[in-house]
Structure 1
Amino acid sequence: MEAGVLFSGGKDSALAAIMLARDYGVELNTCVFDPDRDVPEVRAAAAALGLPFKRRVLGRDLLEEAVDLLLSCGYPNDAIDMVHRTAIETLSHEYAVVGDGTRREDRVPRIERSEVQHLEMTTGCSYIRPLLGYGKPEVERLAGRLLVVRYGETGSIGNGDYEEEIRCAIRARGIDTAPLFPSRHLQSLVVGKRET
């Protein structure tokens, strides 16, 4: 059975993919808004994991909707949740199983239990979050044992996170993003897989 896993190229989605690959044929899916945006670092991360990769385009209309929502709220959480929900729904039309790398402490992106139940009932897919029971220290330990990871602040590392395109769209409107996002937010990028 095929499982479509949302993949940013970071350690969390990589660990989720490794866990799901034990039981499913995993395909990694990175969602972008801009049809012209390439994600070579994410492709390389997928290749390092030895898993097939797809780049999906969510569209500029969704990007503008996310920016409008973020600016009306004054913080990114609701906008990123909305984009993540759309990405999951997109994959649910193609895969019987959809997964991601959300962890126990993650506040964003976060899909509530009632939304998961609705998604599963309306689409017939199963939504799986293998890291949901794992805290940050254990995820870091597993990542250190299984993966070679590079870290950098948002925008300085080439991953497939939704946030960078949202930040760019806000700056294109002439708005400073610094007050809207947490400062010094570290992102991860998988650059290799360790032999275990």
Structure 2
Amino acid sequence: MEAGVLFSGGKDSALAAIMLARDYGVELNTCVFDPDREVPAVRAAAAALNLPFRRRVLGKGLLDEAVDLLLSCGYPNDAITLVHQAAIEILSREYAVVGDGTRREDRVPRIERSAVQHLEMTTGCSYVRPLLGYGKPEVERLAGRLLVVRYGETGIIGNGDYEEEIRRAIRARGIDPASFFPPGHLQSLVVGRRET
């Protein structure tokens, strides 16, 4: 059975993919808004995991909706969750199983149980989050044992996180995105897989 995993190229989505690959044929999916945006570092991360990779385009309409929501709320959580849920819904049309790397403490993106149940009932897919029972220390330990990971700030690290394009779209409206996002937020990027 095939599982489509949302993949930013970071350690969390990579660990989720490794766990799911034990039982499913995993295909990694990175979502971008701009059809011209390439994600070579994310492609390289997928190659390091030896898993097939697809870049999917969510479109400018969803980006505009996310930016409008962020600006009206004053913080990014709801906007990022909106995008994440849209990405899950897109994958649910194609895969029997859809997964991501959300952890126990993650506040964003966070898909509520009722939304998960609705998705599964209306599409017939199963939405799985292998890391949901794992706290940050255990995820870090597993990542250190299984993956070679590089860290850097959003926009510099080159992963497939939604945030980079959202920040760029806010800046294009003449607004400084720094006031909406926590400073010094580190992202991860998988650059290799360790032999275990």
Q: TM-score band (shorter)?
A: over 0.9
Q: Match of 2:188, as an amino acid?
A: S
CA distance in 1, matches of 2:177, 2:38: 23
Aligned to 2:60: 60
CA distance in 1, matches of 2:8, 2:147: 15
Aligned to 2:131: 131
Q: Which runs of 5+ in 1 are unaligned?
A: none
Structure 2 residue 83 is the aligned partner of structure 1 residue 92: no
CA distance in 2, matches of 1:10, 1:89: 21
Aligned to 1:39: 39
Map Cα deviations across residues 51-80 of structure 1 (whole Å, 9 max, x no partner): 000000000110011000000000000000
CA distance in 1, matches of 2:140, 2:171: 32
Structure 2 residue 69 is the aligned partner of structure 1 residue 69: yes
TM-score, with normalisation over the residues of structure 2? 1.00
Q: Which runs of 5+ in 2 are unaligned?
A: none
TM-score, with normalisation over the residues of structure 1? 1.00
Structure 2 residue 179 is the aligned partner of structure 1 residue 194: no
CA distance in 2, matches of 1:142, 1:85: 26
Structure 2 residue 110 is the aligned partner of structure 1 residue 110: yes
CA distance in 1, matches of 2:21, 2:38: 25
CA distance in 2, matches of 1:72, 1:49: 39
- Report SS of the residue matched to 2:66: helix
RMSD of aligned Cα (Å): 0.3
Percent identical residues: 88
- Report SS of the residue matched to 1:178: helix
Aligned-pair distance for 1:178? 1.1
Aligned to 1:171: 171
Aligned to 1:154: 154
Aligned-pair distance for 1:118? 0.4
Aligned to 1:5: 5
CA distance in 1, matches of 2:179, 2:62: 22
Map Cα deviations across residues 32-58 of structure 1 (whole Å, 9 max, x no partner): 000000000000000000000000000
